[in-house]
Amino acid sequence: MKNNLSPETTALIKQYAAAAEEMGELHPALLQLAYEHNWFKLFVPEVYGGPGLTLPEILRLEEAIAEADGSLGWTVTLCSGAGWFAGFLDPELAAAVFADPKICFAGSGAIGGTAMKVKHSYLINGSWNYASGASHATIFTANCILKTADGHDLLDDVGKPVVKSFILKRDEVKVISGWSYFGLVATGSHSFEVHNVEVPLNRTFEINKDIKVKAVGFDYPFLQLAETTLAVNSLGMAQHFINLAQDSFNRRSGQKRFTQAQKSFFESTLYRCSQELQEIKRSFYTAFDLSWQQLMSNGAIAADQLTEVSRLSRKLAHGSRRMADELFPYCGLEAAKKETEINRVWRDLHTASQHALLTFE
């Protein structure tokens, strides 16, 4: 299965990647590209205007976008991933929300707020960090602990606080600029906060419980969906870095500063790293594709297969970073210069590696 990113689209992404980083958000040309290709709706059902792609197709596409540019790939992945919640939204609400041709979800998986039921609405308060795509998002998702009228936590049957996810419109939140990290700069992964905002009762949802649409794949477990989509971003960035590392060393070796033995050593190291990464990639997609086939054929995925998908997602993410680190010393000072493409890719990859979901291999 191949991705459907054309050479022309790849070239356009690369053309504006550096400018996007300088802006600290996606360049208008990249946003327009995402809108035209429905990239922020990758997981949205066709009934709401989505492209009708399956998860196996989406993973390959996200890998390709991330290989073209890390910030764009990461933003598309996180924003479209939040759009997957469409399958669990009240149908009337979803139809209204996705009528916007420039719809884009941003949000946080953290439990950063509270929600108190007041008559026919919820009163929301809280703050959330790292909402990729916040600069252009039209909808924000936020996890809240439910509160009783007297301010106590609402507890479930086993005594744990009840947590629900909420849909918030852009004019209901305040975006707090503060994404000052050295990589994935153009994702604009800012924080947002909400103060005493009342939302209708239908603005809440729970994933993997009550699927509201007849569409393929909404019963794929959210944990593995998140792990796989993040892992393929690291893969795409690593493949980009490997290609740039080869180009960088070849330019330097043309200046006759290396012996033949040194050139041969680099070439063997590059080949080994490339092969190792491709082997992990093959294992990852084999495991994921099997899990998808089980879901399509049996309506469920074996527990050991889900464990394998999680394991290989982590192995892919960690392996991607390690391959880049092993090749970095052979790329010269250009690789350490923040304005260069190779440095941007290295920074993007290492910033992506800090996502808490894939911290431990």
The answer to the question of residue 18 being in a domain is yes
pTM: 0.96
The answer to the question of residue 237 being in a domain is yes
Q: What would the mean pLDDT of 335-341 be, rounded to a whole number?
A: 97
Same domain membership, residue 251 and residue 349: yes
Same domain membership, residue 144 and residue 68: no
The answer to the question of residue 275 being in a domain is yes
Q: Count structural domains, the chain.
A: 3
Q: How far apart are CA 100 and CA 80, in angstroms?
A: 14
Same domain membership, residue 258 and residue 342: yes
For the chain, give the number of residues.
361
The more confidently predicted of residues 208 and 277 is 277
Same domain membership, residue 51 and residue 110: no
Long-range contacts of the stretch 351-354 (C-beta < 8 A, 24+)? 351/181, 351/182, 351/183, 351/184, 352/70, 352/74, 352/183, 352/184, 352/230, 352/233, 352/234, 352/237, 352/317, 353/234, 353/317, 353/318, 353/321
The answer to the question of residue 354 being in a domain is yes
Read off the pLDDT of residues 12-44 as tens digits, 9 standing for 90 and up.
999 999 999 999 999 999 999 999 999 999 999
The answer to the question of residue 211 being in a domain is no
Same domain membership, residue 331 and residue 229: yes
- pLDDT at residue number 3: 60
Same domain membership, residue 353 and residue 241: yes
Q: Which of 230, 238, 183 is nearest to 77 (CA)?
A: 230
Same domain membership, residue 322 and residue 233: yes
Whether residue 186 is predicted with pLDDT greater than 70 in this model: the reply is yes
Q: What would the mean pLDDT of 306-311 be, rounded to a whole number?
A: 98
Same domain membership, residue 133 and residue 81: no
Q: 327: domain CATH number?
A: 1.20.140.10
Same domain membership, residue 226 and residue 200: no
The answer to the question of residue 96 being in a domain is no
Q: How far apart are CA 274 and CA 322, in angstroms?
A: 11
The answer to the question of residue 2 being in a domain is no
Same domain membership, residue 174 and residue 288: no
Q: Which domain holds residue 197?
A: 105-205
Read off the pLDDT of residues 212-243 as tens digits, 9 standing for 90 and up.
888 888 899 999 999 999 999 999 999 999 99
Q: 183: domain CATH number?
A: 2.40.110.10
Read off the pLDDT of residues 255-302 as tens digits, 9 standing for 90 and up.
778 999 999 999 999 999 999 999 999 999 999 999 999 999 999 999
Contact 334, 342 (CB under 8 A): yes
Same domain membership, residue 171 and residue 116: yes
